[in-house]
Structure 1
Amino acid sequence: MDHSHHIRLSSAELTPAMITGAVIYGVDDEKVGTVDHIDGAGMDSTAIVDVGGFLGIGAKPVALPIHELDFMRDEHGEVHAMTSWTKDELKELPEHPRH
C-alpha cells in the first residue's frame, strides 16, 4: 500500500472515536496490530494496541505513545497508522492490563 497520498490526521482528529479500531502498519507494510482504545487525551495520550492473535483472540495489548504513530486516512476514508515498530518488537513490550 502506498501511504504517500494518504491524508494525515490533525491532532484535533486524534480522538478515541476516530482512531479506535484503526489498523497499525509497521515496516514493510506489515499489519502489526489494531488500536483497542486510547488512554488519556491529545498528543500525550497512549494508544493501547492489540498485537498478534487472530480476529482479536489471543492478542496482546501493548501501550504506545500516540506521537509514535502516524495516523492517516486512505482514499476510501479508512483511518490507519504507520509505525517504525515491527510486530516482533511490539510483542516484546510489556502487556498492558485490560480495563
Structure 2
Amino acid sequence: MDHSKHVRLAPAELTAELLDGATIYGPGDEKIGSVSHLHGSQVVIDVGGFLGIGAKPVSVSLSELEFMRDEDGDVHAVTTWTKDQLKQMPEHVDP
C-alpha cells in the first residue's frame, strides 16, 4: 500500500470515535495491530492475536503514529515500530 498518496489527518480529527479500530501498519507495510482505544495522549494498540482473541494491548504515544485516510476513506496509521517491538512492551492495563 502506498501511504504517500493518503491524506494525513488533522489534529482535530484525532478523536476516539474516528480512530477506534484503525489498522496499524509497521515499517514493512505489514499489519501489526489495531487501535483498541485512546487513553489521554496515548493510543492503546491490540497486537497479535486473531480477531481480537489473544491480542496484547500496549500503549504508545499518539505522536508515534501517523494517521491517514486511504482512497476509500478508511482510517489507518503507520509507525516505525515492528510487531515484535510492540509485543516486547509492557501490557497496557486501564486503571
Q: TM-score, normalised by structure 2?
A: 0.97
In structure 1, the gaps of 5 or more residues are none
In structure 2, the residue matched to 1:11 is: 11
In structure 2, the residue matched to 1:49 is: 45
State percent identity of aligned pairs: 61
In structure 2, the gaps of 5 or more residues are none
Letter in 2 for 1:6: H
Q: Report Cα offsets for 1:14-47 as digits up to 9, x if no partner.
A: 000010100000011010100000011xxxx100
Question: Whole-Å Cα distance in 2 between the matches of residues 14 and 67 of structure 1?
Answer: 11
In structure 2, the residue matched to 1:78 is: 74
Post-superposition, which runs of at least 4 consecutive aligned residues in structure 1 deviate over 6 A?
A: none
TM-fit CA distance, 1:8: 0.1
In structure 2, the residue matched to 1:58 is: 54
Please identify which structure carries the higher helix content. 1
Q: TM-score, normalised by structure 1?
A: 0.94
Letter in 2 for 1:14: L
